Homo-oligomer: A and B are copies of this chain.
C-alpha cells in the first residue's frame, strides 16, 4: 500500500531533516519554505517541491508545520493564503514548532471558531537537533485529543525514536509546556558550554582536553557535546543553530515565568547575554559563538599551561559547570512542578534529549523524587567550590554570567538557613 501524502512547511535545519526523513521512509512529501533555495534543496533530496504554501496543503491528509515561531505559524495557518482554508476534511495537523502553550491553545480555539474543528490538531514540539531530525529519532512531546493522537500517531512515530515519543497528558498546550521546561535546561546549557570553554581559555587550558575532562565528569551536558565541535572549528556561519532560535525559546520561558511570577534567574541571565550578543550582531550566527562573550580569540589558539597547573585550573571549570547545572536542574524542576508538568515524564524526556546533564540525571532525580537535602555535598560545600572558581574568573577579568547567578541563588538559600543541608535543597530557594 502506498503511503499517504504529507504536506510540510518550514525546511530549516530541523525541518529539512524531518521532511527528508519522511521522504526516505517512502512518503510523498510536499514541502514549502519561504526561501526558494530551501525548496530546491528539498527537491534535490527527493522531496516534492510545492510552488506555494497552499499547494503544500491542498488535498494533503497530513500536514507538519515546522516554522520558527508562533507568529510565523499564525501566518502559515490562518494568514492570507494560509493552509487551514485548503486542508482537506479531517486532516491531521502537527504543529512541531516551539511555541508558548497559550499559543497552541489559541490555535485550537481559532480552528473551532473558523469552522475547522474537524482538523485533528496536535501540539507536538520536538527536540534533539538537526542530526536526529534527519535520522527520525527526535524526542517529541505531543499533546492533543485522543482522536487527533490516533490519526497522527504514525507520523509522530516516523519522526521520533521508539522510546522518545512522549504522549503528554493534558491536551493541547501540554506538549508545549513540556518542551518549555525542557528548554529551561537547553537555554542555560547552551550558554554554559561557552562559559566553560571560554573560562578554560582564559585559564590557559587546552580546549579539547578540557572538553574531555568535562565529558568524563559530573559537569557534562548534552549541549556541551553537541556544540563543542562547532565551537572549536568556529563553524558559525550559518552553523547549525542560530542564536535567534534559542533566544526565541528562552523568550517563551521568561514570558511564561513572568506570567507565573516564577523565578528563573539562570535562564533569565542566559537570555540577557543572548540579547547582548544579538545587539552585537550575533543573531544569525550559530549559538556556539557565545564563547566570544567570554574569550576574544579562537579557543584553540590558547597557549596552554604546564601539566601541573592544568589539573587545578581544570577543576575550577568543572566546578563552575557542575554547580551551575545543579542550580539549573533546580530551576527547571521547580518551574515544571509549578506548572504541574508530569515530573516523571519530564525526567524520562530530559534524560535523552538536548537538555540532559549529569547533574539533572543524578541530583535532579533526587529533587523529582522529593528526596531533597540528603546528598552528601552540602550547599555550603557547593558554595565553596563555586566561590573559588568565581574569584579566579574575576582575577582574570573573565565574565562568568551563569556561575555568578548560580552562586547568588546558593547564597540566598544559605541566608534562608539551608547551608548545612544537602545541595539538592537549593530547589527550596524556588519555593518548593
Contacts of A387 in B (CB 8 A): 258, 261
Contacts of A391 in B (CB 8 A): 255, 258
* Known A-B contacts A251-B394, A279-B293, A394-B254; A263 and B430 likewise in contact (beta carbons under 8 Å): no
Interface pair A272/B430, CB less than 8 Å apart: no
Question: Beta-carbon contacts of A296-311 to B below 8 Å, as 1s and 0s?
Answer: 1000000000000000
Q: Complex Cα distance A276/B191, Å?
A: 14
The stretch from A81-89, A106-114, A144-152, A409-417 touching chain B is A409-417
* Known A-B contacts A391-B255, A415-B431; A408 and B264 likewise in contact (beta carbons under 8 Å): yes
* Known A-B contacts A258-B391, A390-B258, A430-B415; A265 and B408 likewise in contact (beta carbons under 8 Å): yes
Interface pair B394/A263, CB less than 8 Å apart: no
How many chain A residues touch the partner (CB < 8 A)?
47
Contacts of A401 in B (CB 8 A): 272
Interface pair B399/A272, CB less than 8 Å apart: yes
* Known A-B contacts A251-B394, A416-B416, A430-B415; A399 and B279 likewise in contact (beta carbons under 8 Å): yes
Extra pairs beyond A254-B404, A276-B276 (4, CB < 8 Å)? A261-B387, A268-B404, A273-B276, A280-B280
24 contacts between A and B (CB under 8 A): A251-B394, A255-B394, A257-B411, A258-B390, A261-B380, A261-B387, A261-B419, A263-B408, A263-B411, A263-B415, A264-B408, A268-B407, A268-B408, A269-B269, A271-B404, A272-B399, A272-B401, A273-B276, A275-B399, A412-B429, A412-B430, A415-B430, A416-B416, A416-B431
Which A residues fall within an 8 A CB radius of B? 251, 254-255, 257-258, 261-265, 268-269, 271-273, 275-276, 278-280, 293-294, 296, 380, 383, 387, 390-391, 394, 397-401, 404-405, 407-408, 411-412, 414-416, 419, 429-431
